[in-house]
Amino acid sequence: MSLRIVYLHGFASSPGSMKASFFRSRLRELGLDLHVPDLAPDFRRATITSQLKVAEPLVQDGPTVLLGSSLGGYLATILAERNPDTVAGLVLFAPAFGFAQRWEQRLGPDTMARWRREGTLPVFHYGKGREEKLSVKLLDDAAKHEPQPDPQCPTLAFAGSRDESVPLDAVESFARARSGRELVVLDAGHELTEALDSMWHLTHGFLASLGAAPASAHRGF
C-alpha cells in the first residue's frame, strides 16, 4: 500500500520554500512525489480553518504521511488528530504550538489594539518577498483550535535550540505527552535550514519505517 507524502509550509511561506524544495528534491531522487499545497492563496483572509480546508482533502483521500513546518507542523497535528485512519505518521519541523497566544504576546497590546481597530496588519510574506495585509480574523479563528493537539500516529519532531519563535519546551511537552514521538533537538534557529542534511537522514529513515520510502539509502532511525 503506497503512502502519499504531503508537506505543509509555514506561515507567510509558500510551496517554493527552502525546506519544501529540499525535501521535494530528495524524495524525487527516491522516485517519490512530495505534494506541497499552497495553504493560503488569499493571504489577507487566511485563517487556521481556511488552511485546514485546503489540506484536509489530501489526507482524506488515502494513507498519508504529513511533513509540516512551523504553522504547517501545527496544522499537521490537527489533521492527524482529526483523521487517525488515514494519517500514518508525522514529521514536524519546529511546530508552532500555541500559535495564537504567542502572536499576541509578540505583538504586544498596542499593536494588537491597532490590528483590531483597523482590521488588517502589514506582515512580511516570505514567499512573496514583500509585505502583505493580514486580517485579524487569523487570531480570532486560531483561538478556536486546540493549542497542542494530541494525534496518535508515530511522530518525528525537530526543534532548534536557538529557536526564538517556538520555545523548545513547547515541542518537548508535545513529545513527552505520548509514546511513539521522537524529538530531535538541533543546534539551529527556527527555520532549521542549518540542519537540512541531518533532518533528511532521519526523515528518510522514519519514512522507510512506515513503508513510505525505500530503505536502501538510509542508515537507521
Domain CATH for 194:
3.40.50.1820
Q: Residue 30: inside a domain, yes or no?
A: yes
pLDDT digits (tens, 9 = 90+) for 53-75: 999 999 988 899 999 999 999 99
54 phi/psi in degrees, rounded to 5: -70, -45
Q: Residue 22: inside a domain, yes or no?
A: yes
Q: Residue 53: inside a domain, yes or no?
A: yes
Q: Which H/E stretch holds residue 92?
A: strand 87-93
Three-state helix/strand/coil letters over 174-196: HHHCCCCEEEEEECCCCCCHHHH
What pLDDT is recorded for position 218? 42
Q: Which residues pair with 122 in a beta bridge?
A: 133
The pLDDT > 90 percentage for the chain reads 91
What pLDDT is recorded for position 219? 38
Q: pTM score, two decimals?
A: 0.95
Q: Residue 167: inside a domain, yes or no?
A: yes
Q: pLDDT-based confidence at 48, cuts 50/70/90? A: very high
The domain tally of the chain equals: 1
Q: Residue 12: inside a domain, yes or no?
A: yes
What pLDDT is recorded for position 216? 65
Q: pLDDT-based confidence at 176, cuts 50/70/90? A: very high
Q: Residue 217: inside a domain, yes or no?
A: no
Q: Residue 216: inside a domain, yes or no?
A: no
Instruction: Report how far residue 119's alpha carbon sits from residue 191's, in angstroms, rounded to the nearest whole number.
Output: 29
Q: What is the mean pLDDT of residues 154-163?
A: 98
The position carrying cell 486580517 is 135
Structural domain harbouring 156: 4-210
Burial of 109 (0-12, 13-18, 19+ CB in 10 A): exposed
Q: Residue 221: inside a domain, yes or no?
A: no
